[in-house]
Amino acid sequence: MTSVNDLRSSFTQYFVRNGHEAVASSPLVPRNDPTLMFTNAGMVQFKNTFTGVEKRPYSRAVSAQKCVRAGGKHNDLDNVGFTARHHTFFEMLGNFSFGDYFKAEAIDLAWNLLTKEWDLPKHKLMVTIYQDDDEAMALWKKIAGLGEDRIVRLGAKSNFWQMGDTGPCGPCSEIFYDHGDKVWGGPPGSPDEDGDRWIEIWNLVFMQYEQQADGSRDSLPRPSIDTGMGIERVAAVMQGVHDNYDIDLFKALIGAAASATGADVAGPGNRSLRVIADHLRSMSFLIAEGVLPSNEGRGYVLRRIMRRAMRHATLLGAEEPVIFKLVPTLVREMGQAYPELRSGEAMIAETVKLEEGRFLKTLGRGLQILADETKEMGEGAVLDGSSAFKLYDTYGFPLDLTQDALRSRGITVDQPGFDAAMAAQKAEARKSWSGAGGAATDTVWFGLADRLGPTEFLGYETESAEAEI
Ligand code: ATP
Ligand code: MG
Ligand code: MG
Ligand code: MG
Query: Atom 2 of ligand 1 has which residue's CA nearest to it?
Result: 200
CA of 339 to the centre of ligand 1 (A): 25
Which is more confident, 352 or 167?
Answer: 352
Give residue-wise pLDDT tens across range 398-410: 999 999 999 999 9
At residue 429 the predicted structure's pLDDT band, cuts being 50, 70 and 90, is confident
Residue 84 pLDDT > 50: yes
Residue 446 pLDDT > 80: no
Question: Can you tell me which atom of ligand 1 is nearest the CA of 244?
Answer: 29
CA of 114 to the centre of ligand 4 (A): 17
Query: Atom 13 of ligand 1 has which residue's CA nearest to it?
Result: 228
Query: Atom 3 of ligand 1 has which residue's CA nearest to it?
Result: 200
Question: Can you tell me which atom of ligand 1 is nearest the CA of 76?
Answer: 27
**Which pLDDT does position 455 carry in this prediction?**
35
Residue 448 pLDDT > 70: no
Up-side HSE of residue 252: CA atoms within 13 Å toward CB?
14
At residue 229 the predicted structure's pLDDT band, cuts being 50, 70 and 90, is very high
Share of the chain above pLDDT 90, in %: 85
**Which pLDDT does position 71 carry in this prediction?**
81
Q: Which residues line ligand 1 (CB under 6 A)?
A: 69, 76, 85-87, 90, 92, 200-203, 228-230, 232-233
Q: Which ligand is nearest to the CA of 110?
A: 1
Give residue-wise pLDDT tens across range 270-317: 999 999 999 999 999 999 999 999 999 999 999 999 999 999 999 999
Q: For a substitution probing ligand 1, which of 8, 90, 192, 278 has the most ligand atoms within 8 Å of its CB?
A: 90
**Contact in structure between 85 and 2 (CB atoms under 8 Å):** no
**Contact in structure between 69 and 80 (CB atoms under 8 Å):** no
Give residue-wise pLDDT tens across range 29-75: 998 788 899 999 999 999 999 998 999 999 999 999 999 999 877 89
CA of 176 to the centre of ligand 4 (A): 10
Q: Average pLDDT of the chain?
A: 91
CA of 332 to the centre of ligand 2 (A): 29
CA of 46 to the centre of ligand 4 (A): 18
For the segment 431-458, the average pLDDT, to the nearest whole number, is 45
Q: What is the ipTM of this complex?
A: 0.99
Share of the chain above pLDDT 70, in %: 92
For the segment 412-435, the average pLDDT, to the nearest whole number, is 88
**Which pLDDT does position 433 carry in this prediction?**
64
Integer CA distances (angstroms), 10 to 19, 40, 58, 63, 339, in order: 15, 22, 21, 12, 19
Residues in Cβ contact with 300 at an 8 Å cutoff, skipping those fewer than 6 apart: 293, 294, 398, 455
* Nearest partner of 331 among 219, 233, 249, 241, judged by Cα: 249
Q: What is the 3-state secondary structure (H, E, C) of the chain?
A: CCCHHHHHHHHHHHHHHCCCEECCCCCCCCCCCCCCCCCCCHHHHHHHHHHCCCCCCCCEEEEEEEEECECCCCECHHHCCCCCCCCCEEEEEEEEECCCCCHHHHHHHHHHHHHHHCCCCHHHEEEEEECCCHHHHHHHHHHHCCCHHHEEEECHHHHEEECCCCEEEEEEEEEEEECCCCCCCCCCCCCCCCCCCEEEEEEEEEEEEEECCCCCEEEEEEEEEEEEEEHHHHHHHHCCCCCHHHCHHHHHHHHHHHHHHCCCCCCCCHHHHHHHHHHHHHHHHHHHCCCCCCCCHHHHHHHHHHHHHHHHHHHCCCCCCCHHHHHHHHHHHHCCCCHHHHHHHHHHHHHHHHHHHHHHHHHHHHHHHHHHHHCCCCCCCEECHHHHHHHHHHHCCCHHHHHHHHHCCCCEECHHHHHHHHHHHHHHHHHHHHHHHHHHHHHHHHHHHHHHCCCCCCCHHHCCCCCCC
User: 449-456: long-range contacts (C-beta < 8 A, 24 or more apart)?
Assistant: 453/294, 453/295, 453/296, 453/297, 453/299, 454/292, 454/294, 454/295, 454/296, 454/299, 455/291, 455/292, 455/294, 455/296, 455/297, 455/298, 455/299, 455/300, 456/290, 456/292, 456/299
**Which pLDDT does position 452 carry in this prediction?**
41
For the segment 326-330, the average pLDDT, to the nearest whole number, is 98
**Which pLDDT does position 164 carry in this prediction?**
85
Q: Which ligand is nearest to the CA of 173?
A: 4
Question: Can you tell me which atom of ligand 1 is nearest the CA of 200?
Answer: 18
**Which pLDDT does position 434 carry in this prediction?**
60
Q: Which ligand is nearest to the CA of 40?
A: 1
CA of 153 to the centre of ligand 3 (A): 13
Query: Atom 26 of ligand 1 has which residue's CA nearest to it?
Result: 86
